[in-house]
Amino acid sequence: MSSAAPAVDKASAKQARVVASPARAERLLAHFHQIRDFTTALCANLEAEDFVVQSMPDVSPTKWHLAHTTWFFETFILKKFASGYRAEIPQYAYLFNSYYNAAGDMHRRDLRGLISRPTVREAQRYRSSIDSHIDNLLSDADEKLLDHIEPILILGIHHEQQHQELLVTDIKHVFAQNPLHPVFRENKAEIAPSKPALMHFLDFEETTFEIGHDGLGFSYDNEGPRHRALVAGFSIASRPVTNGEYLQFIEDGGYRRSQFWLSLGWTAVNEQRWEGPLYWTKRDGAWWNFTLSGFRPVDASEPVTHVSYFEADAYANWAGARLPTEFEWERAASDCPIEGNFVENERFHPQGLISSGEDRRLQQMFGDVWEWTRSAYSPYPGYRAVSGALGEYNGKFMCNQYVLRGGSCATSRTHIRRTYRNFFQPEKRWQFTGIRLARDPQ
């Protein structure tokens, strides 16, 4: 008798615990698997040999992206919350940690391309194994445990989306080294060169504006705290700079005239012998462009991409303009719908804007190309990185980098926000980075 009562209580308690959150767990798991599956889908046309090449220190092999995103869930969820969890291959903690010092030592980033083992198949098996453990943990979790896991799982999902973008830009750099010009994905639609839309400048008056994320839904810590900033009057271009416009800068000697360039930029031009955007090659007097759909002539109507901050700044100087600040950009974007050419389109290339006459709206603020701003990547007033390894996610990079806004053709539609702050060093060119001009009031 005395043993029966507690047994019933225990059973009903367990039932209550399991039944309490199936919808929530299911929703989280559906989201988790949707993002994990998209990573796999991005690799659909790759051969095993493609997965292991590291073409420069900034590029990681595809296999490393597959394993590192998995390591994130293993390290920050399974090892913390799955009781009795033991890593099948403990050395993966060293191999697939990227930069989290608080999570332990790590393999050197520039040597990732030397790692032939685990094989691609073993890396894929690692993914499946961790996914199963996450399935089990969440299916069996009570509300309290889900409260702890959910924010980290969502962070891991956004982290994976960031790596999806890197996977695309990294394989582009890998393929670009190959004289056979491998095709990552055939174009779904025929690309017909079009007449680009006219560029207008839209005026914004001086105002005090709320900058940063409002706290509703997910954001990275670097998007806060939300704060008021005085944004002086400015004008901003209705669309990004096109290849055709950038060609005029090249043909006007832009890369040979120091007066347009920052000192560090001029050094980069000369040391790296830049003559045009990354992936542009001149053949028989015409510019060609390596794209993820193959090698083809530069299309004048497309937004220019794969330019560094230095090139963006020099172009703006040549054009009698400047780059926007990130606050100007965020203010201008506040009324723009978050729609555009994102990775879900699977074009993997920016798209030209077809002329629409006197349309004076801001266009292509989201998708196509990340837009360099002239704002140094630094903390907003009151920002403090959280303690522990996840505090290393953004805060420790707030030095010597510039903020980019708006996302690209390799960014997920569900990953970008108006307040999203991407950041890269000013000489980097392998991301889909482009130019939107701004001006002081005339």
Contact residues for Fe ion (CB under 5 A)?
A: 98
Return the number of the residue (99 or 143) whose C-beta is nearest Fe ion: 99
> With 0-12 CB in 10 A as exposed, 13-18 as middle and 19+ as buried, what is 379?
middle
- Residue 184's nearest CA partner among 195, 173, 192 is 173
Q: How far is the CB of 413 from Fe ion (least distance, A)?
A: 20
Closer by beta carbon to Fe ion, 98 or else 351: 98
CB 163, min distance to Fe ion, A: 6
- Residues 6+ away with beta carbon under 8 Å from 36: 127, 131, 160
* 178: number of Cβ within 10 Å: 12
* Structure tokens, 34: 């949707």
Q: How near is the Cβ of 408 to Fe ion at its closest, in Å?
A: 18
Q: How far apart are CB 167 and Fe ion at their closest, in Å?
A: 11
Our CB check for Fe ion shows the closer of 343 and 437 to be 343
Shortest distance in whole angstroms from residue 68 CB to Fe ion: 6
In the complex with Fe ion, which residue's Cβ is closer, 163 or 239? 163
What are the DSSP calls for 222-274, one per residue?
GG-S-EEEEE--EEEESSPPBHHHHHHHHHTTGGG-GGGS-HHHHHHHHHHT-
Nearer to Fe ion, 130 or 307 (CB): 130
Give the whole-angstrom CA distance, residue 95 versus residue 168: 21
Close Cβ partners of 331 (under 8 Å, ≥ 6 residues apart): 204, 207, 209, 231
Judged by CB, which is closer to Fe ion: 160, or 328? 160
Q: Give CA–CA dist 165/162, Å, rounded.
A: 5
* Least distance between Fe ion and beta carbon 65 (Å): 8
Tell me how far apart the alpha carbons of residues 50 and 26 are, in angstroms, rounded to a whole number.
34
**Nearer to Fe ion (CB atom), residue 39 or residue 301:** 39
Two tokens at 352?
């030209």
Min CB(154)–Fe ion separation in Å = 15
Which has the closest alpha carbon to 91: 58, 60, 131, 122? 122
The minimum distance between CB 32 and Fe ion, in angstroms, equals 16
Q: Min. distance of Cβ 159 from Fe ion in angstroms?
A: 6
Nearest approach, Cβ of residue 370 and Fe ion (Å): 18
- 159 or 429: CB nearest Fe ion: 159
Q: Which is nearer to Fe ion, 98 or 243 (CB)?
A: 98
The distance of closest approach from Cβ of residue 94 to Fe ion in the complex, given in angstroms and rounded to an integer, is 15
Note whether 333 and 395 are within 8 A (CB).
no
The DSSP output letter for 203 is E
The answer to whether the beta carbons of residues 103 and 389 sit under 8 Å apart is yes
- Minimal CB distance to Fe ion: which residue? 98
> What are φ and ψ of residue 365, in 5° steps?
-65, -30
Nearest to 377 by CA among 429, 304, 320, 426: 426
DSSP codes joined into one string, 295-310: EEE--TTSBP-S--HH
Of 229 and 389, nearer to Fe ion (C-beta) is 389
CB of 392 to Fe ion, least distance (A): 10
- Does residue 170 contact residue 292 with C-beta atoms inside 8 Å? no
Q: Which is nearer to Fe ion, 336 or 389 (CB)?
A: 389
Give the H or E element holding residue 290: strand 286-291
Give 415 or 418: the residue with its C-beta nearer to Fe ion: 415
Whole-Å CA distances, 315 to 249, 260, 439: 7, 7, 13
